Amino acid sequence: MEKQDVRIIRKGEEDEMEIYGYKLCRWKLTLVGIGVILTGGFLVLLLYWMPEWCVKATCSSSSLKDCNVVLLRTTDEFKIWSRAKVRIQLVPGRKPFENMNFKENKAATNGHIIPADGLFEMNGTHFKSCSEDETVEVRYFTHHSLKYYWNDEIQNFDDLKGLEVGVFCSVVHTRHSKGINKKTQDYRRLFFGVNEIDVKVPSSFKLLVKEVLNPFYIFQLFSVILWSTEQYYYYSGAIVVMSAVSIVSSLYTIKKQYTTLHDMVAAHSVVKVSVCRDRDEVEAVLSTDLVPGDVIVIPANGIIMPCDAVLISGTCIVNESMLTGESVPVTKTNLPNPTRNPDGVENDAVYSPDEHKRHTLFCGTNVIQTRFYSGELVKAVVIRTGFSTSKGQLVRSILYPRPTDFKLYRDAYLFLLCLVLVAAVGFIYTIVNSILNKVPAGTIIVESLDIITITVPPALPAAMTAGIVYAQRRLKKIGIFCISPQRINICGQLNLVCFDKTGTLTEDGLDLWGVHIADGTSFLLPTDNVCTESLVKSQFVACMATCHSLTKIEGELSGDPLDLKMFEATGWILEEATEEETTLHNQMMPTVVRPPTQFLPKHQPATNQDMELYELTTRYEIGIVRQFPFSSALQRMVVVARILGEKKMEVYLKGAPEVVASLCKKETVPSDFSEVLEDYTRQGFRVIALAHRKLESKLSWHKVQSVSRDVLEKNLNFLGLVILQNKLKEETPAVLEELRKANIRTVMVTGDNMLTAISVARDCGMILPQDKVIVADAVPPKDGHVARINWQYADKPTSSDSFDINAEHVQINMEGMNSRNLQTEHYHFAMNGKSFSVITEHFLDLVPKLVLHGTVFARMAPDQKTQLVEELENVDYYVGMCGDGANDCSALKRAHSGISLSELEASVASPFTSKTPNISCVPNLIREGRAALITSFCVFKFMALYSIIQYVTVTLLYSILSNMGDFQFLFIDTAIILVVVFTMSLNPAWKELVSQKPPSGLISGPLMFSVLSQILICIAFQALAFIWVKQQLWYEVWTPDSDACNKSAAVNSNSSHLGNVTHDEHNIVNYENTTLFFISCFQYLIVAIVFSKGKPYRQPCYKNFLFGGSVLILYIFILFIMLYPVEGIDRFLQLVCVPYQWRITMLVIIIVNSAVSFFTETIFLDIILWKLVFSRDKQGDCRFTTTVTQQEAVDHWGSRCLSFLFRRRRKQKTYVRLAQELLVDPDWPPKPLTTTEAKNLHQENGSKVIAE
């Protein structure tokens, strides 16, 4: 058989999928139809649940080019199948996926041909075209709100892209700045569709059908029908009512979620916009009509963006809190228009929304106001519409979330499979026993199927959800909001948490500690005041006053907190340009800054004739001509400004000191720059460097608007350093100490300087005073040399409150250390983003070792933070990420548990959002996660025991051709099981974090032993009671005339309450039934209490008043009706009267059962076996030691035999195995003054160590 061709769509994306082509097959459809009739419709349900089976059962394999059905499968670990129907669209035009008019092509740097208009590009490949008078059949399918069109060139389906792929920045200005005509707009809309993010709220009927067709409810329906045939009408009715309540509740929740999302998306989704046509006409249209290539005018009073668009003129102030959770306004400038440099080479780049996000207005963000030059409009070119926009992608991630991968849920299915196997044993036993006893065939079928419905509890999913719902409510009470409830359980397994620094571990605000101005090749003395006459006209203060992205909103300065703090320190005044002011600056100054007059030198004019000249010279203002906003990737920002009256323009730059120094003339950088910088960063200060240069006079305003920042950012003069203090939040040290004591590892991931980050890590306790820090400085391959890592051992910081700099304090101590000493000490790795990139690219074998002990990751870009989270997860850590929601969005989504410290009530960037703006929410979330996880285990174990107990009871009764009664089932399932399940989940979390980690799955030694031991105990005592009752002297096969109570002298006052029963079709009323009913009822309560554990993860069960009260009431009630039978209750429950002596005997059996169960669970399992066999590794502890205590040695030898049985197949965590290997590795950690080189230039996936 020829292997089917497999193609990939959305390659490299989060939702990458394999695609297979199929054609409908008539003979297969016929066979399926016959099968549906023969199975009574069950085959339809099976094919509905299994898309892969459905397609393969009804279709034959086909090429993608000719198929009419596609089968899709995700390429991630979940391998989820889905199907879609291929449709045909008739489209006029010569080139259906390009512009109707052929234009000149331009070659891209990668060798692919890119259309000049850049439209309808699919991975750099074009589509077959046709003449304009033809009608083209376009094949496409829709999946998860995206359309995928057939591409002849790549012979595959591909999602349609607009201007965000393969378009040069110069092309955006030259080809797309004029707009498109109405005909082209209508033509493109045929492909891109209406520009709206349409979240359709399904009808209640549709939701009902989808909910009812869930396998869980189908199984319940099957059970109800089966029970009804056995005349269990009351019990069946109760299950129907409970299922109806569950369905209605679920429908209400789902409908509410859809409605909320629809309302959120629909708000401001349809607005009137002004569109520029190709003949300089401006036309008002609805935003739903927009297509890529349209040029829209951004109104001065702002707008909620209905699409993604790139600015081509003007400046916008935007609030992007909808996307990032950060409410600080962001300045968006126009996209640079590249021009040819003096060498004649065009300095052009392909436009990317990610790389050029400072020039891109994203859908859903709020443009607060615009800045424009006199007579010009603020224009933007539409690049993406609908679900392809940033907001559309966000909505898609909510509508179609990635499944949660957690061992608990996988183990739950395995456990259910075990229950099914147990049911199969009972099924076979029932059939064989019934045949031997010549039971009618109909009865055999019903009773054997009944065993299956008893073994697999229908209420299990609802019971498992209860604990998560209660935990979500508790989290909400403490200000933690959750948009992904299933992740609460995963929080209970977190053993590593990554923290952003600024705004997370430290305060949001920065305080200006001082400035250190450079004077040629040396630094002047530091000062903490720049508001002086001597500095007011200096380039240093001018740089502080101009190099920012601040703006005035409703009269108040607004912008980045760092920019705000630096500007306020100057005492200058910022004014938005008026028409009069722009006239003075040749109509080109959007913003003006000036110092207060009291800061300027005071010199009175000698004569009245000098007054005019005096006023001109004292009017000191600087106009900001152009801004290049701060870039996380470049770690700097730059502005072009002009001083009033000056001919030449000035360039002011600020950024990371190392980056700024590299852009400056060497002769202007002080010789002791590195030492001074290191001293400040070691003390935990945040340092910003400033630089400046004058531009050539030939550069006019118009040329400046099109010049690239690379031309400006060179040959700069170093001005000095701005030192800012970022204080730790008050709660930070205590929280990190709590996590450390709980053996939860903490990691700092920041965009700040590395030495500053190391200092903060020491100050907050992330790195203990006695711990060593190893700096990994990686160098990429260059000039034929392979990549290499230089290892340096950073000394502990010395605190200093003085401005005096002592070089001895900042030296890196590499003497007197060796790696063998470090193996008995704790050490941490620190590296910056550049080194991290080199290591992950050229030293793949070292990555796991470095992340195992890596604590400080500085100068990390947003994508590097995400990559670090992935690397930590690759070594089997459960990773949490806590950040402020701005640059951490991607990492927050990627981590097992992302916690955003945002002021918003709900953050779209992470599963959890805390209203408390500090990291105290992290231990709270982990505690609640542990409580929810243990609750899930408790509920699952209880439901499993409930099924097995009832299964054993029914199986024993089947052996005498008996069964339980309708109201007995009803009493057990409603009065006992439901009450217990929904109250045992109410235990709050334990008040502190402990170092002992909860199990991550059900298939683990402690849990399996707990369940199996309780199963054996329950079976033993039920079998004991079942056999023992038959050995009693008064026992006989029960008939309506039996009266065991009167045969015994124990109870003379009671008679058989069921003496008037003349016929019992199911043989329910008998002594065995009554005995097993009472024993099993108490067993349900016994295991409920035994499994409802408290410390160390949950509060003890006696503090759960509802659970304790419910169990106590049930105990009293069942004990009362057992010892003192009530005629009405006995008749209702179909119980018979037994002698008082046997009632006391049953009480003794119950007491002994309770004692054995409690001893096994609390003494034998929790103390003895847990200590000897199930003592788990200290997950999350970054301090691996080689010392073994005497008690550990005793435990080791005492547990070897048992641990072989229970841990033989257990897979060890990667990071634990790796840590154990490194402990005996004589070459690890690396020695000081050594270098590790990559193996070679072509295959750099290994390393070797050489001495320096």
pLDDT tens digit string along 139-187?
A: 889 998 888 988 888 888 988 888 888 888 888 888 888 888 888 888 8
More confident residue, 328 or 1141: 1141
Average pLDDT over residues 403-416: 69
- Which has the closest alpha carbon to 176: 98, 293, 292, 280? 293
- Which has the closest alpha carbon to 880: 737, 749, 734? 749
Average pLDDT over residues 1018-1037: 91
More confident residue, 1103 or 410: 1103
Average pLDDT over residues 802-820: 34
pLDDT of residue 800: 36
Q: Is pLDDT at 1114 greater than 90 in this prediction?
A: yes
Confidence grade of residue 1050 (pLDDT, cut at 50, 70, 90):
very low
DSSP state of 280: S
% residues pLDDT > 70 (the chain)? 80
- The region that residue 959 occupies, defined by phi over 0 for left and psi between -120 and 50 for alpha, beta otherwise, is alpha
Confidence grade of residue 600 (pLDDT, cut at 50, 70, 90):
low
Average pLDDT over residues 935-948: 87
Average pLDDT over residues 1224-1238: 83
Distance CA 323, CA 365 (A): 7
More confident residue, 127 or 533: 533
pLDDT of residue 1115: 93
More confident residue, 228 or 71: 71
Virtual torsion, Cα 502, 507, 508, 509, nearest 10 deg: -120
Tokens linked to 1114: 């049930």
Confidence grade of residue 309 (pLDDT, cut at 50, 70, 90):
very high
Secondary structure of 31-81 as H, E, C letters: HHHHHHHHCCCHHHHHHHHCHHHHHHHHEEEECCCCCCEEEEEECCCCCCE
Average pLDDT over residues 3-9: 78
Confidence grade of residue 1062 (pLDDT, cut at 50, 70, 90):
very low
pLDDT of residue 735: 92
**Range 337-345 contact pairs with CB under 8 angstroms and sequence separation of 24 or more:** 337/169, 337/170, 337/173, 337/705, 337/706, 338/168, 338/169, 338/170, 338/706, 338/708, 339/706, 339/707, 339/708, 341/711
Q: What are phi and psi of 658, to 5 degrees?
A: -60, -40
Average pLDDT over residues 516-520: 85
Across 173-187, 490-504, 555-569, the highest mean pLDDT is recorded for: 490-504
Average pLDDT over residues 20-31: 92
Q: Is pLDDT at 1148 greater than 90 in this prediction?
A: yes
pLDDT of residue 108: 38
Average pLDDT over residues 421-448: 81
User: What does the longest C-alpha to C-alpha distance in the chain come to?
Assistant: 135
Q: Is pLDDT at 1146 greater than 90 in this prediction?
A: yes
Q: Is pLDDT at 398 greater than 50 in this prediction?
A: yes
Q: Is pLDDT at 642 greater than 90 in this prediction?
A: no
Asked if 1045 and 937 touch (Cβ cutoff 8 Å), the reply is no
Burial profile 1179-1197: b = 16 or more Cβ within 10 angstroms, e = fewer: bbbbebeeeeeeeeeebee
More confident residue, 1102 or 81: 81
Distance CA 1116, CA 436 (A): 41
pLDDT of residue 1064: 55
Confidence grade of residue 1177 (pLDDT, cut at 50, 70, 90):
very low
Range from 118-132, 294-308, 946-960 carrying the lowest mean pLDDT: 118-132
Average pLDDT over residues 962-982: 86
For 643, half-sphere exposure in the C-beta direction (CA atoms, 13 angstrom radius) is 20
Which stretches within 817-918 are classed as H helix? Answer: 819-823, 833-842, 847-853, 862-874, 889-894
Q: Is pLDDT at 1205 greater than 50 in this prediction?
A: no
- Beta strands 315-319; 69-74: pairing state: unpaired
Distance CA 997, CA 495 (A): 8
Q: Is pLDDT at 342 greater than 60 in this prediction?
A: no
Virtual torsion, Cα 588, 592, 598, 600, nearest 10 deg: -50
Confidence grade of residue 601 (pLDDT, cut at 50, 70, 90):
low
Q: Give the model confidence (pLDDT) of 356-388 as tens digits.
A: 888 899 888 888 888 776 567 888 999 999 888
Query: Which of 500, 679, 884, 888 is an active site residue?
Result: 500
More confident residue, 464 or 966: 966
Q: Is pLDDT at 1204 greater than 80 in this prediction?
A: no
Tell me how far CA of residue 1087 lies from CA of 333, 470, 1011, in angstroms.
66, 22, 10
Secondary structure of 1053-1093 as H, E, C letters: CCCCCCCCCCCCCCCCCCHHHHHHHHHHHHHHHHHHHHHCC
Which stretches within 437-555 are classed as H helix? Answer: 441-455, 460-477, 487-491, 539-546
Asked if 444 and 434 touch (Cβ cutoff 8 Å), the reply is yes
Average pLDDT over residues 619-628: 83
The residue ranges of DSSP E strands in 804-958, in sequence order, are 827-832, 854-858, 879-883, 897-900, 912-914
pLDDT of residue 125: 39
SS3 919: coil
Q: Give the model confidence (pLDDT) of 677-690 as tens digits.
A: 888 887 878 888 99
pLDDT of residue 822: 42
Range from 201-215, 530-544, 577-591 carrying the lowest mean pLDDT: 577-591
For 255, half-sphere exposure in the C-beta direction (CA atoms, 13 angstrom radius) is 15
More confident residue, 103 or 91: 91
Mean pLDDT, the chain, whole residue set: 78
Q: Is pLDDT at 747 greater than 90 in this prediction?
A: yes
Active site residue 152: no
Which residues are CB-contacts of 1161 (< 8 A; sequence separation ≥ 6)?
Answer: 1010, 1013, 1014, 1090, 1091
Average pLDDT over residues 1132-1158: 92
Asked if 862 and 632 touch (Cβ cutoff 8 Å), the reply is yes
Q: Is pLDDT at 696 greater than 70 in this prediction?
A: yes
Q: Give the model confidence (pLDDT) of 821-859 as tens digits.
A: 444 458 899 998 889 989 988 888 899 999 999 999 988
SS3 1181: coil
Asked if 275 and 179 touch (Cβ cutoff 8 Å), the reply is yes
Average pLDDT over residues 783-793: 84
pLDDT of residue 821: 45
Q: Is pLDDT at 1155 greater than 90 in this prediction?
A: yes
